[in-house]
Structure 1
Amino acid sequence: MADRLYTSLEADEILSGLRFDTKLEKVVLARIAFALSLSIDGSNVKMSNDFSGGEMKRPTFVASDELYLKTLLSFVHKKADIEEDEFYSNKSYIKSHIDNGCKHLSRIFDECNHNSELLLKRLTEKIEFSGRKELLGQGLDLFIGKTLLDKKELTLELNNTKKHANSHLAIMGKPGVGKTQFLLKMLADIRRQSNYQTNFIFFDYKGDVVENQKFLEVAKVQTYRLLQGNQNLPINPFMLPDYEEQTINVSAREKAESFASISTKFGVVQKGALTEAIRAAYAKRADSKLPFPDFQDILAIANEMYEEDNKKDDSLIEVLRDLADFDLFWKHGSDVQPIDKLSNRTILIDVHAMPVLKELVGYLVIERLYKEMAALPDSPINDGKRTIRTILVIDEAHNYLGQKNIFLERIIREGRSKGIVVFFASQSPNDYQQKFFNFQELLEFTYIFQCEGVSSSSMQDILGCGGKTAKDLQTEVARLEPFQVISRSQEKTAEFVKFTAEPFYKNY
């Protein structure tokens, strides 16, 4: 990993001259030049091959903004992952943008007749060079609609810790009533209001969101269409924070439990065999540069084990073969590096074309997110607003809620302090009544669109209303018009509120 780069001679001369005129440090001017180049030329920047200028050390230029800068470069250059040499080195995007941006700085300075005050005024109109708008933990107050009777505007204060215990949310309703449009509007608002610092991981079960180009553009989403073309997830489920024997053993057992929770055919024998195969695969990769296996490794070892014991193929081999043959996850020999962190990405995983394994793919990604979350420090709180780092968005959630997904449960229980939030979209409040885990109890925000067959007990738990109100609302919910919603009231004097939800298409 390079810890410094050298600008072009021309850039160094421009920075030195402007430092004298503006009284700004060279690194500040270099960051201005970088931002100028990004905003003016973007991905069309020419790579710079002149290294004869001044030294620019990585800690000085990058400071604490590495994640932010990588996200910017990833978006501008349309790359899912920015490698180290591409990020900060003499062959990096940052160097090329600094050298290119210095030319723009010099041009603007000439246009300002070498008046430094006028230069700074022009720059503030062009870019926010003095620091991006730090809205992390602030500004996530979302306009969600107007009440039906008096047209009063409703605001969702998503991360207000003074009012709400957590930020977990569920949207419920049958297909075609507007719940997806409502969800997309909230996600787009969150991305913009957080200055794209709050991320989300979206499981698109039906494949309709991945086709909404406007949403993908507004929210700046990287999409992965599984089983469509040659695209897979650049995620390796076997990456660990360390590769000590105990860590590997725990992870292997957890993977076996994950598989068993998805497949009813997965018994004690299969769990034991999978645990052993995973441990052996780690041992085989122990001395390599990337000390973690892929599903091809696991399948090969499991096949060997079965052949040695003269065992016939069973549900374990079937699942492993599908995971390996469908090429769903990153594997050794891939042209790209696996994503090292999920929690700082905004991605949409389109699983609608998969005939099988939808839930298992979701399970493995959720497990990976939880492991990252557990290692994060608590997210900061500013004036009662907690920073939301990442939102896990699960569409068609009824397909997941019935599983005993221990990692999803842990994210819901423990995610509040880490700034990790879960958004569900499902067809009925009944979906959240699971005997093994009380999802309803931990959902702070619930929005019910038109539903049929909703039990009064489910309605009562979801809205926190009385029994009589819940029974009355059973009929009311079944008769709601598209985009009409019933949710908990923000007023203490009312048990619920009925409003018209704001759709994405109306706002963007």
Structure 2
Amino acid sequence: MVRFKLDIESTELLDRITNIYNFKRDTITGRIALSLSLEKGQDFLLNDNNLSQNGREYTPTSNIFGRLVNDVDNFVLYKAIFDQHYKKELSENDFIKLYKFHLKDGLQIWNNQLNNIDITKGEHISLLLRPLKKGLTLRSKTIKTSSNIGKVNVKEFNDLLTFDIGETEENEVIEIRINDLREFDNRNIAIAGMAGSGKTQLIKDILYQISRNTNNELKFIFFDYKGEGNPSQLKTFLEATNSQFVDIVNDGGVEFNPFLSINLDEKQKPFSIRAFVDTISAFVPKMGVNQANILISLIDDLLDRKKGEYPTILDLFQELENYYEEKGIKQDTLFSVIRDLSTNIFNCDPNTPDILSKSLYLNLPPALSDTLRQLVVFLLLRYFNSYFSSTNDCEPKDNIFPLRYVIVIDEAHIYLKNRNARKALEDLLRLLRSKGVIVIMLSQGVEDYKTKDFDFASQVKLPICLNVQNKDYKAITSFIGTSNSKVKLESELRKLDSGKGLINIKEPKIINLRQFWKTINNS
């Protein structure tokens, strides 16, 4: 049976929480913490650095996994849960490594929650009762993603990818080696900056460099939530990146079939349909359980009749229209949303081209409701999540991590305000880091990335702070990371202005940002 050591931070958190609840053993605390991590759908990579082993040791007699039947250790049960969670049979060493990651993650989640309540009033008891009452593994009304059984092989860019983000005041060029594992263990990027700070021109320049430096092999999608772009204004950018501009309203929708995210395997199909409907219900106002069940039933019937082929959103609307008429149900918001998705949004047939095969600038103008704009984004994100989850993990070679795709989410704060959307973004960041997908989020302030239930900056390796309204030291450090010198960081922070950015790579630095319009004019 297993023997292993924890790191000192996990040990200290175990002791603190065990003492707060007066549990008889710290192993009780550990099992609950593990459930909290698994409940959130957390994933870790086996090639992540091992945690240190300077904490408490657990031996075969420590009862860390508990005992259930005939006084037998539950190790086998826990390993089976992990095998299912990671969709492969783990070796004993891999299981223990991942177990320690999840234990630490769950302890940190629990400890952060305890730090935000009044223990003297007994609020810690209520805190624990909430997940116990609903079931520690129940994930209700969240946007889930399906996973195809067969692994899909996709084209990879296997060379080193670099791009510049600007220059320091001493004219030092800041080059980002985004897929060099010696510098970045994940490739997610977050940019914070208010209107006029230069973030749009910076991200255009980054995408231009990515397209140029990969010979347009690495494709991207840019979700422009503001919807202020037009083909004539963006002509130079579109030509430079070999990308296609699609205005959801004026171009009659995007060529994409959102049903492609549903797994047609008979064992997986019910869960995939439920996940698809959960995505819709997360954004449609006042959509209840009854409406969700109607959609599930109609989609299931459609798929059965199609016999291995996908229906379209128009097929679904026609089914819904007939059902409402037959049952005498008045048209409601669900009816309106499905109608709009079928007539103005998704212009597709079952043989629509693969959306991943081209770079796409998706314009979402304010003429669309917030409901429709957000739903379009997350139906596409569901597909990306589903598609890439069916692919093999990228295999690094000589410390270079292969790349497959780039997703840019503008105005990310819009989605981060939605609890269900936050969960989908959290899953996206965690899953896709091993699949060679770069996720770039842009928002107006650093505080947008730290929500009450998740710190998105923790899943980002390259945070870039542009000129923001809230220059609070604590908020900034939470976003870009703590500096070795508070004085140095505060000094650099005072220099933030339009066209400048603050990074914290090795030390805090103010940089003059790359701007696409300047790059093109100087080329």
The C-alpha deviation readout for 1:391-433, integer Å capped at 9, x for no partner, is: 1011111122233235433221021221011011111111111
Say which of 374, 378, 391 aligns to 2:393.
Answer: 378
**Cα distance in 1, alignment partners of residues 485 and 376 from structure 2:** 42
What's the counterpart of residue 350 of structure 1? 363
- Indicate the SS of the match to 1:452: coil
What's the counterpart of residue 26 of structure 2? none
- 2:287 and 2:334 in contact (8 A); partners too: yes
What's the counterpart of residue 509 of structure 2? 497
What's the counterpart of residue 304 of structure 2? 283
The C-alpha deviation readout for 1:56-88, integer Å capped at 9, x for no partner, is: xxxxxxxxxxxxxxxxxxxxxxxxxxxxxxxxx
- 2:256 and 2:346 in contact (8 A); partners too: no
- 2:262 and 2:273 in contact (8 A); partners too: no
Bigger relative CO (Cα 8 Å, ≥ 6 apart): 2
Q: Number of residues paired by the alignment?
A: 360
What's the counterpart of residue 501 of structure 2? 485
| CA pair 159-354 structure 1, distance change in 2 beyond 3 A | farther
> How do 1:169-318 residues align onto structure 2 when only pairs under 5 Å count?
169-210=189-230, 211-229=233-251, 231-239=252-260, 243-286=264-307, 291-318=309-336
Say which of 113, 134, 141 aligns to 2:162.
Answer: 141
Matched, 1:167 2:187: yes
**Cα distance in 1, alignment partners of residues 226 and 463 from structure 2:** 22
| CA pair 224-153 structure 1, distance change in 2 beyond 3 A | same
**Cα distance in 1, alignment partners of residues 214 and 315 from structure 2:** 41
Q: Structure 2 counterpart of 1:339, which letter?
A: P
| CA pair 165-268 structure 1, distance change in 2 beyond 3 A | same
Matched, 1:453 2:470: yes
Say which of 176, 200, 207 aligns to 1:156.
Answer: 176
For the aligned residues, what is the CA RMSD? 2.6
- 1:367 and 1:408 in contact (8 A); partners too: no
- 2:405 and 2:437 in contact (8 A); partners too: yes
**Cα distance in 2, alignment partners of residues 327 and 163 from structure 1:** 41
Q: Structure 1 counterpart of 2:334, which letter?
A: L
Unaligned runs of 5+ in 2: 1-154
The C-alpha deviation readout for 1:292-321, integer Å capped at 9, x for no partner, is: 111222122223333343332222112112
What's the counterpart of residue 396 of structure 1? 411
- Indicate the SS of the match to 1:348: strand
**Cα distance in 2, alignment partners of residues 485 and 432 from structure 1:** 17
> How do 1:34-45 residues align onto structure 2 when only pairs under 5 Å count?
none
Out of 314-323 and 302-311, give the one that drifted further: 302-311
State the Cα distance separating 1:339 from its structure 2 match. 2.1
Out of 277-286 and 388-397, give the one that drifted further: 277-286
Q: TM-score, normalised by structure 1?
A: 0.66
Unaligned runs of 5+ in 1: 1-133
| CA pair 250-421 structure 1, distance change in 2 beyond 3 A | same
Say which of 343, 348, 372 aligns to 1:330.
Answer: 348
What's the counterpart of residue 444 of structure 2? 427
- Indicate the SS of the match to 1:303: helix
Out of 375-384 and 151-160, give the one that drifted further: 375-384
- 1:343 and 1:389 in contact (8 A); partners too: no
State the Cα distance separating 1:282 from its structure 2 match. 1.6
- 2:156 and 2:403 in contact (8 A); partners too: no
| CA pair 324-429 structure 1, distance change in 2 beyond 3 A | same
**Cα distance in 2, alignment partners of residues 227 and 478 from structure 1:** 42
State the Cα distance separating 1:467 from its structure 2 match. 11
Aligned-residue sequence identity (percent) comes to 25
- Indicate the SS of the match to 1:143: strand
**Cα distance in 2, alignment partners of residues 466 and 459 from structure 1:** 10
**Cα distance in 1, alignment partners of residues 353 and 156 from structure 2:** 25
| CA pair 263-244 structure 1, distance change in 2 beyond 3 A | same
> How do 1:56-95 residues align onto structure 2 when only pairs under 5 Å count?
none
State the Cα distance separating 1:484 from its structure 2 match. 0.8
**Cα distance in 2, alignment partners of residues 393 and 183 from structure 1:** 9
What's the counterpart of residue 518 of structure 2? 506
**Cα distance in 1, alignment partners of residues 519 and 397 from structure 2:** 28
- Indicate the SS of the match to 1:499: strand
State the Cα distance separating 1:455 from its structure 2 match. 4.8
| CA pair 499-375 structure 1, distance change in 2 beyond 3 A | same
What's the counterpart of residue 378 of structure 2? 363
- Indicate the SS of the match to 1:192: helix
Q: TM-score, normalised by structure 2?
A: 0.64
What's the counterpart of residue 121 of structure 2? none
- 2:257 and 2:346 in contact (8 A); partners too: no
**Cα distance in 2, alignment partners of residues 327 and 180 from structure 1:** 25
The C-alpha deviation readout for 1:358-404, integer Å capped at 9, x for no partner, is: 11000011111111101222224232111211010111111222332
The C-alpha deviation readout for 1:147-193, integer Å capped at 9, x for no partner, is: 12x22221111111122120100111111121111111111111111
- 1:377 and 1:418 in contact (8 A); partners too: yes
Say which of 468, 474, 482 aligns to 1:465.
Answer: 482
Q: Structure 2 counterpart of 1:427, which letter?
A: Q
Rg larger in 1 or in 2?
1
**Cα distance in 2, alignment partners of residues 265 and 215 from structure 1:** 40
- 1:433 and 1:440 in contact (8 A); partners too: yes
What's the counterpart of residue 339 of structure 1? 353
